[in-house]
Amino acid sequence: MLADMTEPFDVVLIGAGIMSATLGSLLRKLEPGLRIAIFERLDRAAAESSDAWNNAGTGHAGYCELNYTPQARDGAVDCAKAIRIAAQFERSLAYWRSLVACGDLPEASSFVRRVPHVSFVWGDADVAFLAARHAKLQESALFSGMELTRDAAQIAEWVPLVMEGRSREVPVAATRMADGTDVNFGALTREMVASLARQPGVDVHLSHEVDGLRRDGASWCVDVRDVATGDERTVRARFVFIGAGGYSLSLLEKSGIPEAEGYGAFPVSGQWLRCTDRAVIARHHAKVYGRAEVGAPPMSVPHLDSRWIDGERELLFGPYAGFTTKFLKKGSWLDLLSSIGVSNVGPVMSAGIENFDLTRYLVGQAMLSVDERISLLRRYYPAAAADDWAVQVAGLRVQIIKRARDGLGELKFGTEVVTSADGSIAALLGASPGASTAVAIMLELLERCFASRWREPAWRSRLEAVLPPPPA
Ligand SMILES: Cc1cc2nc3c(=O)[nH]c(=O)nc-3n(C[C@H](O)[C@H](O)[C@H](O)COP(=O)(O)OP(=O)(O)OC[C@H]3O[C@@H](n4cnc5c(N)ncnc54)[C@H](O)[C@@H]3O)c2cc1C
């Protein structure tokens, strides 16, 4: 049932994933009197990408993700992205800590656990790369605790499964950051949404889908449908955030703002292998990231991951990326087709042609047999027994296609905040590095959309109270 919604809301948040939850939480800290409505099409918050089984739960801090530190032809390793993401993740941790301290979130162990982050490589070239990466990262204080070893016995101590049954003929190397984290973004998001729902002036409506969106003077009309009853209602809002994950692009297009033109979307599905043997799960305590295969997209870097989900330790390997035409796990097979219109057909088609090899790779991955998946797993866990692993479907990542200056489409693997010129509407497109950097992404959004309030002393001091400024 939709309550009285004749009065305009200050803010409407579409979707109850980690991005909307973070923005709602920050907005209420900055402006406690704001009237906020959250609409979520599913009957549970954080049931799409933000759910623990749908993502890898890595607190991305650049410790182990080798794709954040590309190597130039001359061997030089560029660590700028890893350092930027490490600093952004620190902001997320600091904000979550302050929410725990003020009682908005339960104890931190219910959503974040310390799990060492390990990068593991083999072969002379990759061993040299890892050593160069380690040396370069040591220049930043954020990575001062990072250990490097080329000693197989040491690696076997850190991550026994990785070395069990491995030939000792091939050179190996690993780095370890003991301070790495596993984050249950689903549990975190649901707690943030529950905390918002307890506050007067915040309405959370599950099973309510936003179907339409249009400007009306200084405010937005948002068409909402109760999924259970079919009842439809239009609510008004001064500011709208489209945090609809894979469906953000279609809603952004409905807004009609010129900034939405020229964007397209390219969905990538994911699957894990999930360990079913509790004895094996108990023997691994790390997130072990390797190097992506040649031709593989950056989000399919394989990793053997300790997880904490619903109070239990778990072990996942993957993700295996694949081709799909859906934009959400609980979406429609027609999503890709219906996302293409007059304003983006050029960029989408040209990006499709330009990235034909990627599409072919993803189709190939989607068709892998169980045996082929197990043989990929054995690169990281050579002694893995096939019977101990089952397929688990992951979430979808909808990558951005953006019109470049030449009018052609460019495939991007990051995230992008799109805002209207007047700052009254914003959407988050893209998927990576995602949930870990939600706080930094939403702070950027606030600065852009609430520019004058952002500079006011009241907002500055309220922000500092929940998020002390990072060290200079
Ligand atoms: C396989 C995989 C691995 C990942 N690994 C990591 C990782 O290790 N670390 C990390 O930090 N990030 C990771 N990510 C990325 C991270 O999961 C996402 O960036 C993050 O969850 C996105 O949050 P969101 O709120 O934007 O979207 P979502 O969590 O997808 O939430 C969007 C919500 O909007 C709702 N919605 C959609 N349309 C409507 C509508 N019309 N009306 C109302 N509601 C609507 C949806 O039902 C959904 O609940 C991974 C993602 C995937 C897929």
Residue 265 lies inside a defined structural domain of this protein: yes
User: Is residue 145 pLDDT above 60, yes or no?
Assistant: yes
Q: Per the structure block, which two tokens stand in for 227?
A: 């999924």
CA 426 vs CA 62, 252, 259, 260, 435: distances in Å = 27, 8, 10, 10, 17
Look at residue 233 in the predicted model and tell me its pLDDT: 95
Residue nearest to ligand 1 atom 35, measured at CA: 15
Residue 22 lies inside a defined structural domain of this protein: yes
Look at residue 403 in the predicted model and tell me its pLDDT: 83
- Tell whether ligand 1 has an atom less than 6 A from the beta carbon of residue 287: no
- Residue-wise DSSP of 306-320: EEEETTEEEEEEEEE
Residue nearest to ligand 1 atom 37, measured at CA: 244
Residue of 78, 68, 6, 73 lying closest to 35 (CA atoms): 6
- Tell whether ligand 1 has an atom less than 6 A from the beta carbon of residue 301: no
Residue 311 lies inside a defined structural domain of this protein: yes
**Ligand 1 test: best mutation among 48, 271, 393, most atoms within 8 Å of CB?**
48
**Ligand 1 test: best mutation among 55, 271, 305, most atoms within 8 Å of CB?**
55
CA-CA-CA-CA dihedral for 277, 315, 169, 295, to nearest 10: 130
| Tens digits of residue pLDDT in 15-71 | 999 999 999 999 999 999 999 999 999 999 999 999 999 999 999 999 999 999 999
Residue of 232, 233, 235 lying closest to 221 (CA atoms): 235
Cβ-Cβ contacts under 8 Å for 50 (sequence gap 6 or more): 17, 18, 185, 186, 189, 245, 435
Residue of 127, 53, 126 lying closest to 310 (CA atoms): 53
Q: What is the pTM of this model?
A: 0.94
Minimum-distance ligand 1 atom for the alpha carbon of 434: 19
Q: Say which CATH number the domain at 339 has.
A: 3.50.50.60
Residue 467 lies inside a defined structural domain of this protein: no
Residue 469 lies inside a defined structural domain of this protein: no
| Tens digits of residue pLDDT in 252-293 | 999 999 998 888 888 888 889 999 999 999 999 999 999 877
Minimum-distance ligand 1 atom for the alpha carbon of 39: 43
- Per-residue pLDDT, averaged over 158-178, amounts to 97
User: Is residue 1 pLDDT above 70, yes or no?
Assistant: no
Residue 471 lies inside a defined structural domain of this protein: no
Look at residue 7 in the predicted model and tell me its pLDDT: 80
What is the C-alpha to C-alpha distance for residues 383 and 301, in angstroms, rounded to an integer? 20
| Tens digits of residue pLDDT in 348-384 | 777 777 776 777 677 677 777 888 889 999 999 999 9
Residue 459 lies inside a defined structural domain of this protein: no
User: Is residue 406 pLDDT above 90, yes or no?
Assistant: no
Q: Give me the chain's average pLDDT, please.
A: 92
- Provide the number of structural domains found in the chain: 1
**Ligand 1 test: best mutation among 49, 50, 339, most atoms within 8 Å of CB?**
49
Residue 120 lies inside a defined structural domain of this protein: yes
- Distance from residue 50's CA to the centre of ligand 1 (Å): 4
- Residue 378 belongs to domain spanning: 9-453
The percent of residues in the chain predicted with pLDDT above 70, rounded, is: 96
